[in-house]
Amino acid sequence: MTGSADFLLNGKRGSGLDVHDRGLQYGDGLFETLEVYQSRPLFWDLHLQRLTKGCHRLAIPAPDPLVLRQEGDQLIRQCTHGVLKLIVTRGCGGRGYRPPEKPEPTRLLSLHPWPDYSEQLTQNGVRVRFCQTPLGLNPQLAGLKHLNRLEHVLARSEWWQADIHEGLMLNGQGEVIEGTMSNVFYFSNGDLFTPAVDQCGVKGIVRDLIITLARQLSLSVSETSVSPERLLHADEIFLTNSVIGIWPVRQLGDHRFILGENTRRLQAAYQQLWQQQAGYA
Ligand SMILES: Cc1ncc(COP(=O)(O)O)c(C=O)c1O
């Protein structure tokens, strides 16, 4: 695969999106981002389930999963390692917010090169900062991977230093919710905590997997309110998403963290799952 993305729009090659599409006009839609390894879309079923659930919550008719799978397979046939993005919008509508009575959703699948994240980030950890841009509270949208990402765009434009790998976002009440592209976890006295995402934030696929894995390892896991102070006093912190997997945090602001055994255990457990998905186990 070369440096540019390859697109399938409603099953056809190319990217000639209708300018009236509500995804473009209003961010009226959802997306999924997943890893492709040796032509396999990893954790495909989980991504599809989240997409379908999201469609139900937004009253967008969910595309047939078999059609999405077929189109995905068509795009990733030659891909050794890449990122597959699936976008579903409510389709075209007239001017104004009122949704069409009979929406005809748009499917836009695109395949992108694998980002050149160094393996060192997984092994030795990343440097993270707090962002100023707040996340708005909205339980109706909380958890969804919807197309309205302006808050994250503003947060991500707060820093340009290449050695800062992620920014943490707080809600208007000062609680830590997530990273600009990831979910966040921390260990305190051996127990695992992650911010609740019932008021805002994305309910990540890897976040859910980590919660399940941690419980299988008999760890106590809480989805809770997290203040910046609690995070700064944590024993270990790590970030998750479908592309980075698990990145330990070695520095948050001026605070340095150890790369602890608890995070290593979860990395090993996640690696096993990854290998099953990638067809190694
Ligand atoms: C804002 C945000 N939160 C969390 C995540 C993690 O989601 P997932 O684990 O499904 O990749 C992402 C992924 O891109 C994200 O953009």
The whole-number pLDDT of residue 69 equals: 97
The ligand 1 site (C-beta within 6 Å) comprises 33, 152, 178, 181-183, 202, 204-207, 240-242
The burial of 247, by beta-carbon neighbours within 10 Å (0-12 exposed, 13-18 middle, 19 or more buried), is given as buried
Give the residue whose CA is nearest to atom 2 of ligand 1.
181
Block residue for tokens 């996640």: 270
Q: What is the C-alpha separation between 55 and 198, in angstroms, rounded?
A: 17
For 24-65, the pLDDT digits (tens) are 999 999 999 999 999 999 999 999 999 999 999 999 999 999
**C-alpha 95 – ligand 1 centre gap (Å):** 31
pTM over 0.85: yes
Among the listed residues 33, 106, 180, 240, the single catalytic one is 33
Number of CB atoms found within 10 A of residue 172's CB: 11
The whole-number pLDDT of residue 2 equals: 42
Q: What is the mean pLDDT of residues 268-273?
A: 98
206, 164 contact by CB (below 8 A) = no
At residue 192 the predicted structure's pLDDT band, cuts being 50, 70 and 90, is very high
Known catalytic membership, residue 33 = yes
Give the residue whose CA is nearest to atom 5 of ligand 1.
182
Q: Which domains does the chain have, with CATH numbers?
A: 6-113 (3.30.470.10), 119-278 (3.20.10.10)
3-state SS track over the chain: CCCCCEEEECCEECCCCCCCEHHHHHCCEEEEEEEEECCEECCHHHHHHHHHHHHHHHCCCCCCHHHHHHHHHHHHCCCCEEEEEEEEECCECCCCCCCCCCCCCEEEEEEEECCCCCHHHHHHCEEEEECCCCECCCCCCCECCECCCHHHHHHHCCCCCCCCCEEEEEECCCCEEEECCCEEEEEECCEEEEECCCCCCECCHHHHHHHHHHHHCCCCEEEECCCHHHHHCCCEEEEEECCCEEEEEEEECCEECCCCHHHHHHHHHHHHHHHHHHCCC
Please provide residue 201's backbone torsions phi and psi, each rounded to the nearest 5 degrees. Answer: 100, 165
Among the listed residues 32, 35, 106, 145, the single catalytic one is 145
Average model confidence (pLDDT) across the chain: 96
The whole-number pLDDT of residue 60 equals: 98
The whole-number pLDDT of residue 3 equals: 54
What are the Cα distances from residue 70, in Å, to 44, 80, 114, 202?
12, 18, 21, 26
At residue 15 the predicted structure's pLDDT band, cuts being 50, 70 and 90, is confident
